[in-house]
């Protein structure tokens, strides 16, 4: 008798059975069920999204057992090792599983976030594989790690030896920063990210969404009256609030004159208004510097977590900082933000309360995968309360 996975591959299983399989509802051993789900996620257009969602919420214990099994199907292991599907608790098992090829791990290493990289660089596979180390070196996020804190040695430690790079030139006419240049926090950040700064030093300030989003007129209109309800005198005196306009214009002009080093300094030591502009900087290292500012408040980050005009790298970095990860509003806003990477949102959902899960389930801006998982977790939490 054919196994269920063979029936599905041969398109011999009824649609109702395949639908149940995509939901993980078949009475099969966990390893076989995971194999079916991976096949559907990769090869079945109708049930791919449902299968992916089921895998994302699959029981961690049995998923880890499959990740560690050297006899597990290669397709299953490669699915779990893909940066888009990766679950952090499975990574140590995948790294030590010889069935997972160097090529697959090298691809992961070249795209991974700092959190993932921290585990990869400490693995035996990375120490032994030149191919994986070469991929690590290509990943600009590697500079976010501290080899001293991770106690790295051997070939991996050599990746962190900084090669001499040319200093980023100060733009002609750039305003002086006084004691900002001597600030130890700024100096440390600039040193740790020297390679990225040198690579992106030519990029001017180009905020996501365009300069028009910073228009002082938009600020004035927001204060005076909503669209369609402007007073009749507005047509005659469209620029009543001259002071805010001048302030907004001067801030934008100030930022536009700065090179990458100046913008990083301002991101870490500037005002709230300046941070609100620089968080949208299209140059990633500048936007990330805003999150390093000792002045940034939880309220600012709560707002950033909801923004759609910031880089994905910023949204991915927020929950990696412990002080922000503990803030429930930040977590909720990230999950509800359609720009947040799917793997980040899925990892945060388990921390949400039932009423927020219900709201996200009805939010058509987020992906269907998020909405369906929110429904499932909402039902689970409300059923537990009844019990």
The reply to whether 217 and 185 lie within a common domain is yes
The reply to whether 136 and 89 lie within a common domain is no
Strand partners, 375: none
Q: Mean pLDDT for the chain?
A: 83
pLDDT score of 181 more than 80? no
The reply to whether 137 and 37 lie within a common domain is no
Across 367-373, average pLDDT: 90
For the chain, the domain total comes to 4
- Asked if residue 96 is part of any domain, the answer here is yes
Residue 174's pLDDT is 44
Residue 249's pLDDT is 57
Task: Report yes or no: 61 and 31 within 8 Å, Cβ to Cβ.
Answer: no
| Global confidence as pTM | 0.52
Q: Of the candidates 49, 70, 100, which is a domain's last residue?
A: 100
- Asked if residue 198 is part of any domain, the answer here is yes
Residue 387's pLDDT is 58
Residue environment code for 158-173, b if the CB has 16+ CB neighbours within 10 A, otherwise e:
ebbeeeeeeebeeeee
User: pLDDT digit string (tens) for 149-167?
Assistant: 888 888 898 888 765 444 4
More confident residue, 103 or 183: 103
Residue 72's pLDDT is 96
User: pLDDT digit string (tens) for 233-243?
Assistant: 333 334 444 44
User: pLDDT digit string (tens) for 20-68?
Assistant: 999 999 999 999 999 999 999 999 999 999 999 899 889 999 999 999 9
Residues 6+ apart with CB under 8 A from 203: 260, 282, 283
The reply to whether 115 and 95 lie within a common domain is no
List of long-range contacts for 129-136, beta carbons under 8 Å, 24+ apart: 129/102, 129/105, 130/155, 131/102, 131/103, 131/106, 132/102, 132/105, 132/106, 133/159, 134/106, 135/105, 135/106, 135/107, 135/109, 135/110, 136/109, 136/110
pLDDT score of 261 more than 80? yes
Q: Which of 66-75, 101-110, 150-159 has the lowest mean pLDDT?
A: 150-159
- Asked if residue 90 is part of any domain, the answer here is yes
The reply to whether 273 and 196 lie within a common domain is yes
- Asked if residue 235 is part of any domain, the answer here is no
User: pLDDT digit string (tens) for 293-311?
Assistant: 999 999 999 999 999 999 9
The reply to whether 79 and 143 lie within a common domain is no
- Asked if residue 191 is part of any domain, the answer here is yes
Residue 183's pLDDT is 72
The reply to whether 292 and 323 lie within a common domain is no
Q: How sure is the predictor about 331, in pLDDT bands with cuts at 50, 70 and 90?
A: very high
Residue 385's pLDDT is 66
Across 13-21, average pLDDT: 95
Residue 188's pLDDT is 85
Percentage of residues in the chain having pLDDT higher than 70: 83
Q: How sure is the predictor about 222, in pLDDT bands with cuts at 50, 70 and 90?
A: very low
Q: Of the candidates 83, 100, 117, which is a domain's last residue?
A: 100
The reply to whether 107 and 91 lie within a common domain is no
State the Cα–Cα distance between residues 166 and 330, nearest whole angstrom. 38
Host domain of residue 30: 1-100
The reply to whether 123 and 47 lie within a common domain is no
- Asked if residue 166 is part of any domain, the answer here is no
Q: Of the candidates 267, 296, 325, which is a domain's last residue?
A: 296
The reply to whether 96 and 106 lie within a common domain is no
With tokens 């020297």, the residue in question is 194
Residue 163's pLDDT is 54
- Asked if residue 197 is part of any domain, the answer here is yes
- Asked if residue 129 is part of any domain, the answer here is yes
Give Cα 297 to chain centroid, integer Å: 20
The reply to whether 201 and 251 lie within a common domain is yes
Residue 131's pLDDT is 94
State the Cα–Cα distance between residues 363 and 351, nearest whole angstrom. 18
Across 261-273, average pLDDT: 93
The reply to whether 76 and 136 lie within a common domain is no
């Amino acid at each position: 008798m054919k196994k269920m996975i063979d029936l599905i591959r041969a398109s011999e299983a009824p649609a109702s059975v395949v639908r149940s399989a995509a939901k993980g509802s078949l009475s099969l051993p966990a390893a076989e069920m995971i194999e079916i789900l991976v096949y559907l996620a990769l090869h079945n257009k109708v049930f791919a999204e449902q299968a992916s969602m089921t895998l994302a919420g699959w029981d961690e214990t049995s998923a880890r057992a499959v990740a560690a099994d050297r006899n597990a199907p290669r397709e299953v292991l490669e699915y779990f090792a893909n940066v888009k599907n990766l679950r952090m608790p499975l990574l140590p098992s995948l790294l030590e599983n010889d069935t997972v090829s160097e090529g697959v791990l090298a691809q992961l290493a070249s795209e991974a976030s700092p959190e993932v990289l921290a585990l990869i660089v400490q693995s035996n596979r990375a120490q032994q594989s030149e191919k994986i180390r070469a991929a690590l070196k290509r990943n600009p996020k590697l500079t976010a790690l501290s080899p001293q804190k991770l106690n790295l040695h051997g070939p991996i430690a050599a990746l962190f030896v900084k090669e001499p790079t040319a200093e980023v030139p100060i733009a002609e006419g750039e305003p002086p920063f006084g004691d900002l240049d001597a600030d130890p926090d700024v100096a440390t950040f600039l040193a740790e990210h020297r390679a990225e700064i040198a690579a992106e030093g030519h990029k001017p300030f180009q905020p996501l969404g365009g300069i028009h989003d910073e228009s002082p007129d938009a600020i004035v209109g927001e204060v005076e009256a909503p669209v369609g309800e402007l007073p009749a005198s507005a047509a005659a005196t469209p620029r009543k609030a001259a002071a805010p306009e001048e302030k907004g214009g001067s801030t934008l002009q100030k930022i536009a004159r700065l090179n990458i080093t100046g913008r990083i300094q301002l991101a870490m030591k500037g005002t709230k208004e300046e941070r609100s502009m620089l968080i949208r900087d299209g140059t990633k290292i500048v936007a990330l510097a805003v999150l390093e500012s000792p002045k940034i408040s939880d309220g600012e980050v709560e707002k950033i977590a909801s923004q759609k005009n910031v880089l994905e790298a910023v949204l991915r970095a927020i929950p990696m900082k412990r002080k922000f990860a503990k803030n429930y509003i930040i977590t909720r806003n990230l999950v509800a933000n359609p720009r947040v990477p799917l793997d980040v949102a899925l990892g945060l959902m388990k921390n949400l309360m039932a009423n927020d899960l219900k709201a996200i389930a009805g939010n058509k801006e987020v992906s269907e995968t998020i909405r369906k998982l929110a429904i499932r977790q909402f039902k689970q939490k409300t059923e537990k309360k009844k019990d």
